[in-house]
Chains A and B, each alone.
Chain A
Amino acid sequence: MTPTPSRSRTPLPLVRGARSLALVAALLGVLTAAACGGGKSSNTPNVTAPTARDAQVTVDDVNGAKASPECAAKVKTLRIVTYGNVSASARNAKAYLEKAHPGLTVDLSSTATSYAEVVSQISADKAAGRQTDVAVAGYEFLTTFVNDLGAQELSPKLLRASYDQRFLPLGQYNGKQYGIPQQVSLPVLMYNENLFKKAGIDPATLQTTDGVLAAIDKLKAAGVQRPVDLPTEFGYWFLDSMAHSLGTGLQGSDGKPAYNTPAAQQAMAFLAAVGKSGAQSQNATTQGALTFGLQRSATVGATVAAVGAARNLLANRGSQSFPVGVVPFPTLPGGKLTPVAGGNSLVVLSADRCQKEMATEAVVALLSPDVLAAGIQATSYLSIDKRATELLSDFYAKNPDLKALNDLAPQLVAPPAWSGTRGSEIPQVTEDEVVSVVGGKDPQAALTELQTKATDLTK
């Protein structure tokens, strides 16, 4: 057969080969620079993405926390699923457990970057017949852990005397203790004290939504382009906290959606009014906190866990630094401060007696006061342990307002636990509507749609 070389081909120019060569050289150059650029250690401080320091783990101070010798000999593997924020603490616990129980391997999975991803990983493992022993459960997923993932009831007797029992209700479901709160946060407003002084605003007026709206006017009059930034990522959280201040949140006492209450209407109207004052961020950290840190917004809605990191970051910025004030997220006018808690509790998922014993020991280890203190130094969650609070005396001396927030423990409420196989979609659906409302959509229409959608999702 005679070939016919007639297909038109563009001759390869010499420059193409040179370009590929240059690219490969660039790749090798960057990789070499990364791998050899000065050895393993560097003095560049990581002030923005704090990691918990190594901490002292102990379980000897809790009666019955240690696994029995029989179970210690039997259990060879313990599987812990956590997520990025908790992984430093979990590594401490892993090191302790493997040292305390020679022959035990703690299989630590910490690739998840959200509580939803933790649920996905554990669900997939469960479907594949792989048992998870200990997990970090976001409060909003506690129902899923109990109903679908086999969370075991825990005894509060296993807690240290120093554990602040006021937080325990956050880990309860149907009156039983399934989770031990490990990290507790609440929604706050961080504000630029310099800009507030310039505008003549008393931060105490931020206690109510009316006060925030008045502050917006004053800040605008003082020339601040972006007075308040409430990242829509937290829209569901903010909305629920405000609604709770008048009695009931977004979930009625019967467990059904309550987006049609006067409280929800007022809360959504507030978000709409804030939206009219200027652009709102979507992401709370990479957009909201960053914009605030660059002094392009005067106030930002955030989790209390971000306050410590924000202050650390600003302390390293010399002349561009400014003092950061923090107050709890405002209530509706006439409302009572009732923040919806964020964060997670530790749950035990193994039903096998010995696995459960070892898992319980892991939970107690993860709740060691020094481990908790190290975590709070890195990310300023509320302190759930009185001994940890003592260890944090220096930290709280620098951040007295954060210590004061610990006293809100009795007022905290758990986030809604939605029923139905698609109930877990409600926060995202709400967030989507909040985005529309701050973008100009009628808040009443948005709530009507939300009520319908949420009702459908909980069927």
Chain B
Amino acid sequence: MSTPTVVRPEVAGADVSPGRRAGRRSPLGPVVRWVLLIIAIVVALLPFLWMLRTALGPSQTAIDQSAALLPSSITFDNFNNAWYGVDLGRALVNGVLVSGSVLILQLFTSVTAGYAFACLRFRGRNVLFVLVLIGMLIPPQTVAVPNYVTISGLGLADTRFGLVLPFAANAIGIFLMRQYMSTVPTTLLESARMDGLGTWRTLWRVVLPQCTPAVAAVATFSFLVNFNEYLWPLLVARSPVNYTPPLALATFTTSAGLPDFAQLSAAALIISLPSLVVFLVAQRKLTAGLAGSGAAV
């Protein structure tokens, strides 16, 4: 059986009628749109560019009064100091390992649970789904200590596995997958059954290929959220060997004196790159996934 696809309506901007499109188009429209877009881009990118400028400049010029757009000289010392000062390389590896592991686990649980809620009929399905929705409403801070008690009881405190395990399932991921899978036509599922596919094969060979945007959305959110998680690593990762990037970054700050902004910027730049790459690579699917699941983009 080859992979089937289904027709979905265009999601955004699809209902612009030809009549509207043809008439009353102001020549100023595109200009205004471009100006607004450029302003938005500058506002969004300026902090990032400033971080880059600060990271590449000498430490002293990070808080220079002249505040020139370009540093007086280019140096990689700040990257070097940040890298070795708090063992950022190890923290980065930890961050990628932990976030990657969480991502894989969350994808598995979100896809299977979403499929069950969307495509399978069983007693208590709606009640269970409501429980999942309630899970979305619980602030993570309130479950941090109970989770820590459990993880410590399992002997996993101050381990990478302890950083991963509590996030193996994610209510928002299940919700997104369920919403997206609900749009898969019933006829397609019935056809799969008539072709002799069982539940698992229907999921992997029929439903999942239809849901790549939702999978991309869940994966991207999972990676970004967990890569930048602070509270849970603060409780669990006590040894420097288990620090994740946000913990390593926090060690730059002190209650007295200023942080070294140049090193801080260099460290922030380094740890933001994996997230940036993941987001930019997945952004197209991410938007489609969120739109298709009915979640706000």
**Chain A residues within CB distance 8 Å of chain B:** 1-8, 10, 19-20, 23-24, 26-27, 30-31, 33-35, 37-40, 42-50, 84-85, 107, 109, 111-114, 117, 120-121, 123-125, 127-130, 185, 285-286, 289-290, 293-295, 303, 305-306, 308-310, 313, 316-317, 320, 378-381
Contacts and interface: CB of A to CB of B under 8 A. Distances in A.
Contact of B252 (A23, A26, A34, A49): A49
Interface stretch (B26-34, B117-125, B174-182, B258-266): B258-266
Given A27-B277, A30-B270, A49-B258, A317 B60 contact: yes
A120 B76 contact: no
15 contacts: A23-B277, A24-B277, A27-B274, A37-B83, A39-B80, A48-B59, A49-B253, A50-B257, A112-B234, A114-B255, A124-B235, A286-B259, A294-B63, A303-B255, A378-B257
Given A37-B76, A49-B257, A294-B65, A4 B252 contact: no
B235 A121 contact: yes
Contact of B153 (A40, A120, A128): A128
Interface in B231-275: 233-235, 237-238, 243, 247, 250-263, 266, 269-270, 273-274
Nearest to A10: B284
Contacts of B194: 1
Contact of B5 (A6, A47, A310, A380): A6
B133 interface: no
A38 B80 contact: yes
Contacts of B7: 4, 6-7
B16 interface: no
A42 B5 contact: no
Nearest to A36: B80
Which 7 A-B residue pairings sit nearest by Cβ, starting from the closest?
Answer: A309-B257, A128-B152, A305-B256, A3-B4, A34-B79, A37-B76, A34-B83
Among A6, A33, A44, A129, find the residue whose CB has the most chain B CB atoms closer than 10 A.
A44
Nearest to A81: B238
A33 B79 contact: yes
B1 to A, nearest CB: 6
Given A112-B234, A123-B145, A124-B145, A4 B79 contact: no
B2 interface: yes
A113 B86 CA distance: 15
A303 B257 CA distance: 9
A109 B103 CA distance: 28
Nearest to A112: B234
B238 to A, nearest CB: 4
B5 A84 contact: no
B78 A44 contact: yes
Contacts of B262: 44
A20 B281 contact: yes
Given A34-B270, A111-B238, 19 more contacts: A1-B1, A20-B281, A23-B281, A30-B269, A34-B82, A38-B77, A38-B80, A40-B80, A42-B80, A47-B59, A48-B260, A50-B257, A84-B253, A113-B253, A127-B145, A127-B148, A128-B152, A308-B256, A378-B257
B65 A117 contact: no
Contacts of A286: 258-259
A107 B255 contact: no
B204 interface: no
Contacts of B5: 3-7
Contacts of A308: 256-257
A118 B247 CA distance: 14
B237 A111 contact: yes
A449 B8 CA distance: 55
A453 B46 CA distance: 40
B71 interface: no
A306 B256 CA distance: 5
A49 B280 contact: no
B161 interface: no
Contact of B256 (A24, A113, A303): A303
Interface in B162-208: 191-192, 194-195
A35 B76 CA distance: 10
A50 B75 CA distance: 21
Given A6-B5, A128-B149, A285-B258, A30 B79 contact: yes
A78 to B, nearest CB: 14
A345 to B, nearest CB: 15
Contacts of A42: 77, 80-81
A44 B276 contact: no
A306 B257 contact: yes
A33 to B, nearest CB: 5
